[in-house]
Structure 1
Amino acid sequence: MVAATTDDRAVDALRRLTAREDVQFHDGQLEAITALVDDHRRALVVQRTGWGKSAVYFIATALLRERGAGPTLLVSPLIALMRDQVAAAERAGVKAVSISSANAHEWGEVLARLDADDVDVLLVSPERLTNPRFRDEQLPALRERIGLLVVDEAHCISDWGHDFRPDYRRLAHLIESMPDGVPVLATTATANERVVTDVAEQLGSGGGDVLTLRGSLARSSLRLGCLELPTTGQRLAWLAAHLGDLQGSGIIYTLTVSAAEDTARFLTGAGYAVRPYTGRTDPDERVELEQALKDDRLKALVATSALGMGFDKPNLGFVVHLGAPSSPVAYYQQVGRAGRATESADVLLLPGREDPDIWHHFATASMPSQHRADTVLSVLGPEPMSVPALEARVDLRRTPLELLLKVLDVDGAVRRVQGGWVATGEAWTYDAERYERIAEARRREADAMLAYERGESCRMELLQRELDDPSAQPCGRCDVCAGPWYPTDVPAQAAQQASGALDTVGVPIEPRGMWPTGADRLGVEVRGKVAPAERFETGRVVARLTDLGWGGRLREVFATGAEDVEVDEALLGAVVRVLRDWDWAERPTGVVQVPSVRRPQLVGSLAAGIARLGRLPLLGSLDVVPGAPEETAGGNSAFRLAAVWGRFDVGAGLGEALAATAGPVLLVDDLVDSRWTLTVAARELRRHGADAVLPFALAAVG
């Protein structure tokens, strides 16, 4: 009896995976499988979304396991992606399990199954490789048994990749430490030539050449378009009027959390079954929302990039962007969710004038600086320090601090251990040249995205060229090639509804309940809970700076370099509406002003205008204590509190006014960020006799 060949066994596995007897491999799939199974090679597969990259590693796993190989270690970037990959593995007859923050209660069972060799694929996130217990106790034994290493979404390995993720850079060290003869596969749908070269070099670390299989990235099912409308209101109105005309169900992407929430609220009010999906969405709710969209129980999810790599609905009918991503590569990644198993899907971009400012914010937020790195390294020593303890010693917020620690960890300068982080003592030099290269690459990508919007050439061809696809050519279907396929009108009724929705004002500001950890180390002798008798009551702002409606107007007021002027009548009218609709327990009986260094005219005129229109006495302003530190923007809670602690004083005139005033006072400021300015100011007012403090400001950050 002739033994089955690798090709025969691979075809059998493909039929099990797809439940189809007539199925055939796509070009390159079988070549990749045999390279891994027969030749134990290192391979990089760059193929369009929907080509079947997961089929390659699941079938390769099944064949290697038949030959007695150990389990596959699959590094996957998102929990949502892991869920879909586990389900796909089951269809292929492959037993897959994951270790992630979402299933900590199952880790014991997973490890027991690994020990019993009852697992074919173990999925982990790149962040799991930094977990001290996994890295030191489980990874060494797994590395000795591993049959195949797979790195999914491998563009993240590269600094050039659009998704800068330091933990992925650690994979080069893991690849280098693999035992001889262990095949390695990296897959991605979004990599230009620079990224391909970079990833291939890292795959080749430790010896061995790399087989690169690269196919055409054209997506024949996608019909691309871009409609420029002058205002946010016009874009929302277009969605309200025409979302129902788009086929099937889909995704509406926004650039910020607030935009996703505002858009979902507006479209729900317009009668559509939509829900927001952002980084703030609870993990369990994410699973529920993903399934609702897959089951076509929703017309759309209104999502940030939190719904990206890993979400798999083969018949997704459309993707609409309310605001453009920062690069054609990122855009290609997101629109690739549509039309994976359908003949046609619609992809429309509704760009906004504010998009470049948002791109710049996110690009700079993810980049480390030498000053910050030197500060962290000067604080860390051989004894473990937790992130909260470190926050109290360095002026960095939690998210950028954790990102910086990961960068330093990858570079070998720090190490995560049980109990926190330690310095390794290894010399570290800030690679300014590398980060400038990354910044320059991102600037070029932004320019290319603007070129996409201008529509000077076929839109699919431009995306392919940005990914250095040699097969790029006009698609014949996009609005540049064939003319607009979408309606361009904005009905007056929809525009009126959108205008009304965007004119909504009033966002609650909750009081701080706890003093920040480590404040006492900065000379602020408070800890634990903020005493209820010293807190402010829930306050209000007109809007968040990131809001779609009044956020745009307020961004102009608080833009860098904007002139300090008195509050205008339109904005004061919005203020009056917020105060009118405020459901306070007791109406304020006086107005107090927070002193402002940057915008004294704005804050002064705001306080005076509220007092005049509300027929309230203007009790005065808090005083700035001579020699008090300057207020600072950014930084973490402990440092923000220290910057305003002891800054304010209740002078004799204000003290007398407070003593003669019964009831709450309205505390007026311009901009709310950390809420520590309001917390400290309200504490002083309460300690000098104010019955209650109701904070009010024009805007909130975020």
Structure 2
Amino acid sequence: MTNADRAELRASADSVLARLVGDTTGTARLREDQWRAIEALVADRRRALVVQRTGWGKSAVYFVATSLLRAQGSGPTVIVSPLLALMRNQVAAAARAGISARTINSSNTEEWDTVQAEVAAGEVDVLLVSPERLNNPDFRDQVLPRLAAATGLLVVDEAHCISDWGHDFRPDYRRLRTMLADLPAGVPVLATTATANARVTADVAEQLGTGAGTDALVLRGPLDRESLSLGVLQLADAAHRLAWLGDHLGELPGSGIIYTLTVAAAEEITAYLRQCGHPVTSYTGRTENADRQQAEDDLLANRVKALVATSALGMGFDKPDLGFVVHVGSPSSPIAYYQQVGRAGRGVEHAEVLLLPGKEDEAIWQYFASVAFPPEEQVRRTLDVLAQAGRPLSLPAMEPMVDLRRTRLETMLKVLDVDGAVKRVKGGWISTGEPWVYDSERYAWVARQRAAEQQSMRDYASTTGCRMEFLRRQLDDDEATACGRCDNCAGARFDDKVSTAALDGARGELGRPGVEVEPRKMWPTGLSAVGVDLKGRIPAGELAHSGRALGRLSDIGWGNRLRPLLTAQAPDAPVPDDVSSAVVTVIADWAKGPGGWASGAPDAAPRPVGVVTLASRRRPQLVHSLGSRIAEVGRMPLLGTVTYAPGSEDLRISQTNSAQRVKTLHETLVVEPALAEVLAAAGGPVLLVDDLSDTGWTLAVAARLLRRAGAEGVFPLVLAVQG
């Protein structure tokens, strides 16, 4: 292409940009680094990896390139994007530039056939697909080959997800290697991310074929965000953090995002801030898709002050005038933190970024670390099960035989699929018979990197140096210098003072005891495969009533009080007075609530006639003292204990797999004849007391035994639930 041709192409590119950003004056111009990427893709048909800060304009690169390539007769652009919210933003942005964009993802399954027909008819300029689609058998075998043959540009958005060194590794992304291999010669490829240090950049470049030895462009720019003012507030406890938000949320500029580490925390904070009169909405993994879209629309239109969100919102939201990001709790990685705070200040001169770390952060990090890639014996067991089956096995069919929770099993299979050891087909998964090596050294290295990232977040919170410089150096930004804007450079803009009224209100919200514990109503699938004759719906005569817990371990209120009592390292001791008093309050509220035995309603449940405890291997004193205290206050007899069969004391109970857990509990939990005799004589329902419910299956199996032994009802009561 001649220089004149390139100049004409540049003029066309600027025209597309003007439409994209809504510029009617004709003055919009691509920056030189943006043009370099577009030129490489359109004029030279090269591959490019772009690592640039949030707000740099990566989406402008692929939309402008799409428009130019389509004008030259190229096929549609395929964008692999990990988040639904981001996809919705992208479709709207494409429309502004006159680009027809459609999506295929888990939230629009009813539209897939129509979208695929439109793509085949040439009516779609951009197709956004989620990485999970890439290994869906129908999509992979029927749609993907046609897409690979016809696509004019492949874009991998949030490309750090490809790397298991990155903070958001997704095995499905590695399917891109297959698509890359099937692309016709000369089809350009663009990979983009805002958060990749040197190690992640090198890994992504190698996997996408954009590394050393290829004729590719790597654009890596400085990561400073001049609009962001970073700060950290060290507050005494969770109540002070909520009170601070209640007092100061209105002082933060514009509207923004309050990130939390858990769903429970998001719901607690949302409830409290609404009580304070702040218009906020929660956005978590539990939020229905329609409600998510409404929440996004409300924030975009500034109808709410903030979304209180988990990482379900994460990278996937584009609001240029977002005025603040507050984290109630520290993410475990400075790279993930930078990604999330980068949502703010993209189109305004100043945005506030505040971190409010909490004592519970470490425990939450440890939990997520515990669900990393399984140990070798569990992987080998899964491969053996598939090899011996001789047919495709679905996740529900496999789960009882491999002792892994379904989500963890699926992630592991995706990794094995990428490694070539298994394959997803119609009907489930099969073994390929290919040799496979457990890369223990690599997995251990990843674990060490995660630990180092956690330490970096501790260091970020405590540093006396420039916070922006700290984050930029974590991302291997060689141009990192002091920003002059953060609380350490320019002085704190917010103090830690909270009003008495706000603190009292926060303590009331967090100190309110009581969480409903829904009983298990269906036995897990596949029990017959492990020799247990239970299936389907649990009969009404063997079912537990709805129960209660003092709190969730993931709460920032009672969770912080209960967590030290229930860790594996905690010494066994009688229940503390403040905890037992709170449990008594829970029971009183429960009894007086709708349908409760003290509610006076015509359909009220009968009053419990006694207390039964569950035998505890780890905390027998705690559970027994709790049961005794409840019996004493409620003026009920302590009837006895559901015990473990002799010889089963050392038997391991699965903490992850429902069918394996039920099998072990079914074989080991026992209602002794003496207790059965007492239950039959008591003639009424009982309170079933335990310390912790993590899956609900121990309560379900124990309730079944008690009902079959003569209890007319079982009301589970635990100190905490895991979720």
Q: Same fold (TM over 0.5)?
A: yes
- The equivalent residue for 1:586 is 606
Q: Distance in 1 between matches of 2:182 and 2:447?
A: 31
Q: Does 1:645 align with 2:653?
A: no
Over aligned residues, Cα RMSD in angstroms? 1.5
How far, CA to CA, are the matches of 1:597 and 1:196 in structure 2?
48
In 2, the alpha carbon distance for the partners of 1:627 and 1:363 equals: 33
1:492 CA drift (Å): 2.0
Residues 1:126 and 2:131 aligned together = yes
The match for 1:197 is 202
1:13 aligns with 2:16: yes
What is residue 602 of structure 1 aligned with on the other side?
A: 622
Cross-structure match for 2:372: 366
1:379 aligned residue (375, 385, 391): 385
Decide whether the 8 Å contact of 2:145 with 2:182 is kept in 1: no
- Structure 1's consecutive aligned runs of 4 or more residues displaced over 6 angstroms after TM superposition are none
- The answer to whether the 8 Å contact 1:315/1:342 transfers is yes
User: Hey, what's the Cα distance between the residues in 2 that align with 1:622 and 1:30?
Assistant: 71
Task: Answer whether contact 1:640 1:674 (CA < 8 A) is retained.
Answer: no
Report if aligned partners of 2:544, 2:716 keep a CA contact under 8 Å in 1: yes
Report the counterpart of residue 312 of structure 1 in structure 2: 318
Three-state SS of the structure 2 residue aligned to 1:48 is coil
2:264 is equivalent to residue 288 of structure 1: no
2:678 equivalent in structure 1 = 657
User: The residue matched to 2:353 in structure 1 has which SS?
Assistant: strand
Matched, 1:171 2:176: yes
User: Match of 1:333?
Assistant: 339
Q: 1:624 and 1:155 mapped to 2: Cα distance? A: 48
Aligned-residue offset at 1:106: 1.0
Alignment of 1:555 onto 2:555: no
SS state at 1:223 partner: strand
Answering whether residue 56 of structure 2 is matched by residue 36 of structure 1, we say: no
Provide, for residues 277-333 of structure 1, a one-character-per-residue CA deviation record: whole Å limited to 9, x for no partner. 111111111111111111111111111011111201111111000001111110110
Q: What's the counterpart of residue 679 of structure 1?
A: 700
Deviations along 1:51-95, one digit per CA (max 9) or x if unpaired, are: 110110011111111111111111111111111111111111111
Contact 1:175–1:205 under 8 Å retained in 2: no
Contact 2:608 2:684 in 1 (8 A): yes
Per-residue deviation, 1:205:
6.5
Aligned to 1:497: 505
The worse-fitting range, judged by mean Cα deviation, of 586-595 and 213-222 is 586-595
624, 632, 635: which one pairs with 2:644? Answer: 624
Counterpart CA distance in 2 for 1:658 and 1:203 is: 66
Q: 1:65–1:71: 8 Å Cα contact kept in structure 2?
A: yes
Report SS of the residue matched to 2:544: coil
Are 1:79 and 2:84 matched, yes or no? yes
1:217 to partner: Cα distance: 0.9
Indicate yes or no: 2:13 matched with 1:45. Answer: no
- The answer on 1:395 being equivalent to 2:416 is no
User: Aligned partners of 1:372 and 1:209: how far apart in 2?
Assistant: 42
CA distance in structure 1 between the partners assigned to 2:360 and 2:552 by the alignment: 15
Give the SS at the match of 2:675.
Answer: helix
**Offset, 1:468:** 1.1
How far apart, CA to CA, are the structure 1 residues paired with 2:719 and 2:459? 36
Question: How many residues end up aligned between the 2 structures?
Answer: 701
Report the Cα offset of residue 225 of structure 1: 0.3
Secondary structure, aligned partner of 2:667? coil
- Give the distance between the partners of 2:710 and 2:716, measured in 1 at CA: 16
Describe the superposition over 1:361-383 as per-residue Cα deviations: whole angstroms up to 9, x where unpaired.
21331333322211110111341
- Which among 299, 313, 317 is matched to residue 305 of structure 2? 299
Per-residue CA distance 1:464-497 (angstroms, 9 max, x = gap): 1111112211111110001101132122221111
1:355: which partner in 2?
Answer: 361
Shift of 1:631: 5.4
Is 1:94 aligned to residue 99 of structure 2?
Answer: yes
Alpha-carbon distance in 2 for matches of 1:605, 1:406: 46
For 2:504 and 2:372, locate their aligned partners in 1 and report how far apart those are by CA, in whole Å: 39
Deviation (angstroms), 1:565: 0.6
Give the Cα separation in 2 of the matches to 1:597 and 1:18. Answer: 63
The structural deviation recorded for 1:27 is: 3.4
Aligned twin of 2:188 = 183
Letter in 2 for 1:224: L
The answer as to whether partners of 2:161 and 2:167 remain within 8 angstroms in 1 is yes
* Paired amino acid for 1:161: G
The answer to whether residue 454 in structure 2 is matched with residue 446 in structure 1 is: yes
Mean alpha-carbon deviation: is it higher for 28-37 or for 507-516? 507-516
Amino acid of the structure 1 residue aligned with 2:610? G
Distance 1:649 1:364, change over 3 A: closer
**Residue number in structure 1 paired with 2:442:** 434
Contact 2:322 2:346 in 1 (8 A): yes
Moved more, 302-311 or 645-654: 645-654
Q: C-alpha offsets along residues 349-371 of structure 1, whole Å, 9 cap, x if unaligned? A: 00112212222221331333322
Please give the secondary structure, in 1, of the residue aligned with 2:660: helix
TM superposition shift of 1:628: 4.1
Distance between the aligned counterparts of 2:128 and 2:574, measured in 1? Answer: 57
Question: Which digits, 9 at most, give the CA deviation of each residue in 1:550-590, with x for residues without a partner?
Answer: 11111111112211111111111011101110132222111
2:550 alignment partner, SS class = strand
The equivalent residue for 2:122 is 117
| Residue 599 (structure 2) aligns with | none
Q: Which residue of 2 aligns with 1:152?
A: 157
Which residue number corresponds to residue 281 of structure 2? 275
Give the distance between the partners of 1:623 and 1:373, measured in 2 at CA. Answer: 33
Native 8 Å contact 1:323 1:352 kept in 2: yes
Q: How far did residue 192 of structure 1 move?
A: 0.8
| Displacement of 1:593 | 1.5
> In the alignment, is the contact (CA less than 8 A) between 1:366 and 1:403 conserved in 2?
no
- Structure 1 residues 422 and 633: alpha-carbon distance in aligned structure 2, compared to 1, 3 A threshold: closer
* Contact 2:645/2:670 (8 A) holds in 1: yes
- The corresponding residue for 2:472 is 464
Q: Deviations over 1:109-130 (max 9, x none)?
A: 1111111111111111111110
Gaps of 5+ in 2: 597-604
Corresponding position of 1:214:
220
More moved, 549-558 vs 168-177: 168-177
Q: Which amino acid aligns with 1:625?
A: A
* Equivalent residues of 1:17, 1:92 under 8 A apart: yes
Q: 2-side partners of 1:19 and 1:539: how far apart? A: 56
Letter in 2 for 1:15: A
Which of 130-139 and 488-497 deviates more?
488-497
User: What is the deviation of 1:633?
Assistant: 4.6
Separation of aligned partners in 1, 2:198 and 2:505? 46
Answer whether contact 2:523 2:538 (CA < 8 A) is retained: yes
Identify which of 229, 233, 239 aligns with 1:233: 239
**Cα distance between partner residues in 2 of 1:486 and 1:455:** 17
Contact residue 71 and residue 148 of structure 1 kept, 8 A: yes
Mapped pair 1:613 → 2:618: no
Of 518, 528, 544, the match for 1:536: 544
Aligned to 2:348: 342
Separation of aligned partners in 1, 2:496 and 2:391: 63
Percent identity, please.
56
Shift of 1:609: 0.8
TM-score, normalised by the number of residues in structure 2: 0.95
Q: CA deviation at 1:230?
A: 2.1
1:142 to 120, 124, 147: 147
- Which residue is equivalent to 2:523? 515
**Residue identity matched to 1:140:** P
Alignment of 1:221-260 (within 5 A): 221-260=227-266
Q: TM-score if structure 1 supplies the norm length?
A: 0.98
Q: Distance in 1 between matches of 2:640 and 2:163?
A: 56
Aligned partners of 1:459 and 1:478 also within 8 Å: yes
Partners in 2 of 1:310 and 1:296 — Cα distance? Answer: 18
Residues 414-434 of structure 1: per-residue CA shift (max 9 Å, x gap): 111011111111111011122
